Amino acid sequence: MPDLPQHKPVLAGTAHNVTGPGLRLEALPEGHLLHVLGEIEPAALAAELTKAGFAESSIRQAGFRQWFVAGDEPLAPAGLNALTAALAGKAFVTDQSHGRIRIGVSGHSSRLLLSKGTAVDLDPSVFAEGRSVMTMIGHISVQIARTGDDSFELTVLRSFAESLWEDLRHMAASAEKDSGA
């Protein structure tokens, strides 16, 4: 039997973290990412996630009646089956864990860095914690979610992750110069 391909995290060959004064880029664990589509409200979805063992996962709006459910833990087939059964008739669930990568951007210069790549207004008064948006950073489609006052999580298609990582590293160097660090 031929050797089966082994899973290798897409950003494994890069430095996992880039830190500087006021900024941190972090390759987040390739846990799970589920795409939920349907007429279920976020509160009801959160309740079903808890019952199915996804209590630590976050829910991010990904479009009209669409959510991403993201978490650090690898996807267990039993949990996915339980969630799919619980949402039957209300929403559809597709596993996107294999196709998308998450990158953390944090620190007091995080908004400055992201402003170099996107036109989204990331001021906390407009883009509050828990909010998410699909946008472009350069030529790459990305979901940006605010996870804290000065922290964001970027979700990108797996095939664009290395390119986005390099773009973020270059923008980070520029942001450090602009912030006077």
The C-alpha R_g of the chain, in whole angstroms, comes to 17
- Which residue from 132, 106, 80 is spatially nearest to 25, judged by alpha carbons? 106
Domain boundaries, the chain: 17-29+99-178, 32-95
Q: How far apart are CA 100 and CA 86, in angstroms?
A: 24
Instruction: Write down the mean pLDDT value for the chain.
Output: 88
Taking only the tens place, the pLDDT of each residue in 22-35 is: 899 998 888 899 99
**Residue 113 main-chain phi, psi, to 5 deg:** -60, -50
Output the pTM of the full model: 0.86
Q: How far apart are CA 62 and CA 143, in angstroms?
A: 8
Contacts of 120 (CB under 8 A, 6+ apart): 114, 127, 133, 135, 144
- Which residue from 95, 91, 94 is spatially nearest to 41, judged by alpha carbons? 91
CATH architecture assignment, domain 32-95: 2-Layer Sandwich (3.30)
Taking only the tens place, the pLDDT of each residue in 104-141 is: 999 999 999 999 999 999 999 999 999 999 999 999 99
- Which residue from 94, 99, 129, 95 is spatially nearest to 111, judged by alpha carbons? 129
Task: Give per-residue burial for 93-105: e unless 16+ CB within 10 Å, then b.
Answer: beebbeebbbbbb
Around Cβ 127, how many Cβ atoms within 10 Å? 18
Taking only the tens place, the pLDDT of each residue in 64-111 is: 999 999 999 988 888 899 999 999 999 999 999 989 999 999 999 999
DSSP 8-state code for residue 160: G
**Which of the following CATH numbers is that of domain 17-29+99-178: 3.30.565.10, 3.30.1360.120, 1.10.238.10, 1.10.8.80?**
3.30.1360.120
